[in-house]
Amino acid sequence: MIAADRHEHGLERAIERAARACVLSYRRTRAILYAEAKRLWADEETRIRDAYTARMEREMNQLDARRALLHARLEALRSTHGEIHGEVRAMAGTALERRGGMVPRSSNGCSPES
C-alpha cells in the first residue's frame, strides 16, 4: 500500500494513509515498514491483510469501471464512424450528381465510391 501511494503522495503521507487503513498508529506502521518492530501481533497482521484486500478490491472495481467506460467509448466511436461514413457517401453522391456523374480521383487514385 505504501509503495503504491508513495509516488503520488510522498512517503510520510503514504505511511499515514496505510496507518489509517490498517487502524494502526503512524509510529507502529513506520516501525513495521522499516522492520524495527520486534514482533507483529496477530490482530495487526489481520488488519493489514484486510486493509490490503479491501484496497485491491477497490482498485479492481475502479479498473472494471474504467474498462466499461472505454468499451462504451469505443462502441460509440464505432457507431459514429458508421454514421459519418454513411453521411460522407451521401454527400459524395450528391456532389457527383451535380457534376453530371463525373467521378473525381483522390490523391491516392481511388474514386470516392470504392
How many structural domains compose the chain?
Answer: 1
Pick 99 or 76 by higher pLDDT. 76
Does a structural domain hold residue 28? yes
Burial letters 79-98, b for 16+ CB under 10 A, else e: eeeeeeeeeeeeeeeeebee
Mean pLDDT of 85-97: 69
Q: Is residue 86 part of a domain?
A: yes
Q: What is the pTM of this model?
A: 0.59
- Of 94, 99, 92, 98, nearest to 114 (Cα)? 92
Residue 113 lies in a domain: no
Q: Is residue 105 part of a domain?
A: no
C-alpha 53/C-alpha 47 separation (Å) is: 10
Q: How far apart are CA 104 and CA 96, in angstroms?
A: 8
- What does the pLDDT read at residue 114? 47
Provide mean pLDDT across the span 25-48. 95
Q: What is the pLDDT of residues 4-31, one digit of tens each?
A: 888 888 999 999 999 999 999 999 999 9
Q: Is residue 48 part of a domain?
A: yes
Confidence of residue 37 (pLDDT cuts 50, 70, 90): very high
Does residue 68 sit within a domain?
A: yes
pLDDT interval class at 40 (50, 70, 90): very high
106 within a domain of the structure (yes/no): no
Q: HSE-up of 33 (CA within 13 Å, CB side)?
A: 19
In a domain, 111, yes or no: no
Helix locations, the chain, DSSP H: 2-9, 11-22, 26-33, 42-98
Question: Residue 74 sits in which domain range?
Answer: 2-98
64-90 pLDDT per residue, tens: 999 999 999 988 888 876 666 666 677
pLDDT at residue 42, as a whole number: 96
